[in-house]
A and B are shown apart, each in its own frame.
Chain A
Amino acid sequence: MDIDPAFNLNDTLEDIIMNKIVVENLKYRYPLTEELALNDISFEVNEGEFIGIIGENLAGKSTLCQSLVGLVPHFYGGAYGGKVLIDGMEVLKSEISDIALKVGMVFQNPFTQVTGSKLTVYEEIAFGLENMGLERSEMIERIDYALSLLDIYKFKDRNPFDLSGGQMQRMAIAGIIAMKPEIIVLDEPTSQLDPQGSEEVFKAIQDLSHEGITVIMVEHKIEKIAKYSDRVMLMHKGSIVDFDTPKKIFSKDDLEKYGVIAPAFTRICKAFDVKDDNGLYPVTLDEAYDVVVNVNE
């Protein structure tokens, strides 16, 4: 068995197999720019993990996402160094269409994700499946599943351009989910959704995560990231500041320095210096409740 030198010598065989995403010393600069958009990024993600990426604008979050699906560097060009391995497949040496079989990506703007060539939502979701060359029966099965999961089955016969922003975004997610990728990368997918719509999307994505799909999500809705993520990556100026559990990340004292504000519950607990047994602040309502009850007892 060939072991790629990108893996650390200290990794066990189990680690190597479990690591869905391995990024090593990734550096990237867009064409005609001088600053690095990604500066020496290294991390590993395990199968089925839900990773939240946070940070201020121009922190490199979207660029990092695009590097996982091969858009960086294949689509943009530019200067690229380091390695991104998706399930053992090196992004730099693979074509985007091959990477797309393993990694799906949902973008911020739902409007530009509509292909523009299909007349109904049902056909729109089939677009990726047709490109994959799937059998018709398999396509129908997958489309029905994705439409039901995102609760948009009732819109299946509508023209995609006639949907609202939120419905369109859910259609875009359904289009990716139908392709059954092992990893889903979402770049601020709920930015155009109402609170109810956002919650539905997060729940759907969490369900996928529980089914073993690895999720990488960039999001400014800190409360949601705190609630759903297994680990949170804090980025600043193209580098990773920290990559740890939500509690550890949001318990940091210097979060605001990186343009991030901790969840409301964390800020309240910080104000009253309410910590859990490990000396960390709670990040969700349930955690805050448990800690407060423990303190009172």
Chain B
Amino acid sequence: MKSISLYVPGKTFIYKIDPITKLFYIAVAIIIPIVAPAQIVSYICLAVSLLIILFGKIIKKVLPIISFSAIILVTVVIIQGLFKLDNKTPMFSIGPLTFYKEGLSYALVICMRVFNILFAFSILVLTTKPSDLIESLVRKGLSPKIGYVLDSVLQIIPEMTATMSTITDAQRSRGLETEGKLSTRIKAFFPLIGPVVMNSLVATRERAMALEVRGFNSKREKSFLNEEFKSPYSRVLQWTLTLLLILTILWRILS
């Protein structure tokens, strides 16, 4: 059974950094370009994230994420370039359509921020097991119940998909047509969704009981099988990132 996760196993330096520090990095990489009064900071943040991705050897997995987002960002560039309210200075025209400088530079800022967010999140999700991330958060005070929900959903959704496939096969073997025209698929949807939902409800109730008898609601302080994931420079990195953020905020206030 596959888990819904983008994690790519690896051994580069980025895998040796703990999830909390990576979360710090995401926060800083997103906030600094927004707060900083100079556009150049966005490019610097982007470049830093890109370097981490390159040296972390995860660029191959980042590219599909970027390409998918690029399609959406192209529409942002077109709409802002053409229709932004304060568009005044024409840059170029394609037939009857005129692109304006103000709209395009605003679209560029949006693109930079989106890429910044995507790069920063890619560093976290591609190099951190979801279970490690959630365990780290639970250690830092996240409710174990919320942690469980986040953790289990990654595995239980594929499990439900497998159940759906079993039910589809069972219905098909009894003559239900599930493939073909849209109308055929819609007709097949209701006989399939009923058993899937019922099955999921029953399974959820049984799982809840099984969790209860394993002390899920215990008021005792939870312990952990895995040792806490601590990288040697966690503290230094976290303080450096915090300091950078504070300096950027001061820069913004003083400028």
Binding site for B on A (CB under 8 A): 66, 69, 71, 75, 95-98, 100-101, 103-105, 107, 109, 111-119, 122-123, 126-136, 139-140, 143, 159, 161-162, 172, 175-176, 179
Contact = CB atoms under 8 A, between A and B. Distances in A.
Contact of A175 (B214, B221, B222, B225): B214
A139 B203 contact: no
B213 A104 contact: yes
Interface string B190-221: 00000000000001001111111111111111
Interface of B: 1, 3, 129, 131, 147-148, 151-152, 155-156, 158-159, 203, 206-227
A84 B203 CA distance: 27
Contacts of B151: 116-118
A116 B223 contact: no
Contact of B220 (A132, A139, A143): A132
Nearest to B202: A112
A126 B215 CA distance: 12
A276 B85 CA distance: 100
Contact of A96 (B152, B158, B207, B212): B212
Contacts of A114: 207
A139 B214 contact: no
A116 B206 contact: no
Interface-centre pick from B209, B215, B220, B223 (highest chain A CB count, 10 A)? B215
Interface-centre pick from A69, A97, A159, A175 (highest chain B CB count, 10 A)? A97
B207 A113 contact: yes
11 contacts: A97-B220, A107-B210, A115-B210, A115-B214, A116-B207, A118-B151, A130-B223, A131-B220, A132-B218, A136-B225, A139-B223
A133 B222 contact: yes
A239 to B, nearest CB: 24
A107 B148 CA distance: 21
Secondary structure of the A side of the interface? helix
A223 B224 CA distance: 41
Contacts of B220: 97, 131-133
B210 A113 contact: yes
Nearest to B153: A116
Given A97-B219, A100-B215, A109-B206, A159 B3 contact: yes
A112 B1 contact: no
Contacts of A132: 215, 218, 220, 223
A119 B215 contact: no
A115 B207 CA distance: 7
Contacts of A162: 1
A136 B217 contact: no
Nearest to B217: A97
Nearest to B1: A161
Contacts of A112: 203, 206-207, 210
A114 B221 CA distance: 22
A104 B89 CA distance: 74
Given A96-B213, A100-B215, A117-B152, A131 B222 contact: yes
B217 A96 contact: yes
Nearest to A112: B206
Contacts of B226: 123
A111 B217 contact: no
A114 B214 CA distance: 11
A132 to B, nearest CB: 6
A113 B223 CA distance: 21
A134 B223 contact: yes
Contacts of A175: 214
Nearest to A100: B215
B135 to A, nearest CB: 10
A69 B211 CA distance: 12
Contacts of A69: 213
